[in-house]
Structure 1
Amino acid sequence: MEPIVLVGGGLASARAAETLRDEGYDGDVVVVTAEPHHPYERPPLSKDLLRGDAERDVVFPLDGTWYGRHDVEVRRGTLAVGLDPAAHTLTFADGGSLAYSRCLIATGSSPRSLDIPGTDLGGVHYLRTLDDCDRLSQVLLDASLEGSGRIAVIGDGWIGLEVAASARTLGLEATVIGRGAVPLGRVLGAEMGELFAGLHTERGTRVIRNTDAVRILGADSRVTGVQLPDGTRVDADIVVIGVGATPNVGLAEVAGLDLRSGELGGGIAVDGTLSTSHPDVFAAGDVASIPSPHYGRPLRVEHWAGASDGGTHAARAMLGNRAPYDSLPFFYTDQYDLGMEYIGWVGPGDGTGSGSGGGQGRVTRDGYDDVVVAGSVAKRELVAFWVLDGRVRAGMAVNVWEQVDRIKELILSGRQVPREELEGFTAA
């Protein structure tokens, strides 16, 4: 029998390989990754590994010896460029090919490029891969040792804020340049986005809102700053571009697999088993658009838990398990002394909706009509709930621990939860 082939070097592939062996599959398994590393996970790349606070092996969910001990072949530095579902064959950039019995596409996503002058200057970075992290970490640590350094982060999403927090922790001057009225406004709305803005401002980060970078400035082929539309110059020795990511669907496109529309988040269309439009090809992680029984629409989620849960689920499905994927989206962040866990889903809004503690918030796209807070925003110890018609759609715990399972129960219950019950959540 031909091997099961896992295409991608991220957490989804690692979890799929691990699950295949845990479930007793003793056939051949091959992992194909374009990177020179064993499969790894990405959250540390913008946090402790970036700051030099963790050893490099923190990113590997399975150590390098695991694959040999479990008879899993890893083809590193191998780029898959073709997939023929009818022939059950993968082809590679070096001209080689590999037959498979079942194939998992877990090719992840790539940073969205910024089409402005100056992105080719020395000192301009994207952060997606382990090699990206190695390069940027060395630059930040060198600047920290010298006691000087200025970083401008273009983008006010999770990556941008985590990089800024890491840079400030190392003692660099940091500026975040964002399009939104508040950082993370499209994800969290106005009040919770303001919470993160306040956190960064208090730690000395300059947060510039409602603007774009129009040019990266330089001299002698090195970055010297960022220009804004009104002519303002932000001085910088280091620039990190973090303006989002796009799913790596190229392999699915050449194979003729069904894709989701941009309005639904893009990605490879899969069913509840994570099978694509060809029954022997599956997709998991950032690249997969998965129907959600809880939200009544497909979701494509670019977070650690989706890759972990998705890789596990796809492996079981490749072995014949037909159970539908029903995990709720979950993600977390650590910035300075703030730790946050978020579970559930609401669609992106415009970041201007009012939040709560009292009156009704404005409905945002795909969304919610209220944000109810239990605990203290001022102390940054709280649980926030995104609510639609009294039903909890998502919840976020900030510096309040072991609450995710309780929030999940409220989401899955589908019941209308009285406001006073939510407001008293942290005291219960």
Structure 2
Amino acid sequence: MSSLLVMIALGAVPPVAGDGTPAGPKLAATDIQCQELSPEKCRLVEDLLLASFSEDQRFTAVISGKDIRNLLDLEQQKAVSGCDEAACLAQLGNALNVGHLLTSSLGKVGGQYSLSLRIMDTEAAKVIVREQAMVAGEDKLPEAVKSASAKVLQTFFDAIGVGAEATVARSKETGSVEGIAVFDLEAVHGVKQSMARVLSDILLSNLQDSGRFESVVSGEDIKQMLDMEQQKTAMGCEDDGCMAQIGGALGVPYMAVPTIGRLGGQFVLNLKILAVEEAQVKARVSKMVKREVDLPAAVLSLAKTSLEHLFEGAEVVKNRRAVQKLQRQMMRYGGNTLLAGGGLALGYSIFDLNGAQASHLAALTTDSYDQLLEAQSRAVTLRWGGLAALGAGLALVGFAPAELVEE
């Protein structure tokens, strides 16, 4: 029975997809073990870590520690409590029916943070990837998590022989869907509730205006639609299976769960969208900004990226943004080259004309006068050409696509 529950909750994927695409590996991520860090900040780091791994489309499924607790029965939970040895972790992976297990820890040594990640092959009961990073300060933790995750993913897929171009065929929605319930933006750490409410309204309006959903149920609507017992359940609801049950009670196919917190000098925004029927995360996105004034724009970007991942797939979004980045770089390089060329042309026209004038005044001959006339003609051509280059350069730099918000 427990095995059946695992397969249902994971949205089990057969070894080969319907279109013949080989199924990718499944990854279970245990709760990050934090020392010298508050539970709220630890949760922010864990959300960033999960988002980094979930965005890689080579995985069939990525489940979190909260999901693991929901999938295992009480006896299994007791057995794996405090589990750290390879053999013990292998048993946990087998109980979850996943081939690979991610464990992570974050501690503090002196004034530095130590971030450790490792991925274990549950069948072979051995660690195949191990990454450790020292982080100078709390404000550098978000970037360190992203960087360490990228290294682990690269090493992991190299080890199992999966190339960067490989993707797993994941189901994507097309057009619009029936509805989505959006929980209120939860302020996890270091953010005022009043600010969270304002940002929650921005997120709600953006999802409504996207045209992707026939109806958008707000946090206030959720409270009105659920009875008292269901509200109590929702208040303590953290894992995806529990969220899916709430979505089922609301009669919507999707649930959106946003959070915001402060880590070091940065705000960290997270949004995950769950498919209620499958009890599975379909999109998980994080954004980081340093200034409070940039939060509204970051919320809009968070909603846009999450919907793109849901309806188009993370790999399509990643490729499109890579093209946009290359386009932006080429336009700015071309613009700067034209600006430099235009400036040189204007400068040379002045230098050449001044030289011809000085030579004519010194010689006062017919030849020197003819040379002066030629210099004046060249100066006109160079000045118009220089001005045209400056104008084109300014246009290219000015109309280059804006920098993308951190993904």
| Smaller-chain TM-score bracket | under 0.3
More helix by share: 2
Q: TM-score, normalised by structure 2?
A: 0.23
Q: Which has the larger radius of gyration?
A: 2
Q: TM-score, normalised by structure 1?
A: 0.22
More strand by share: 1
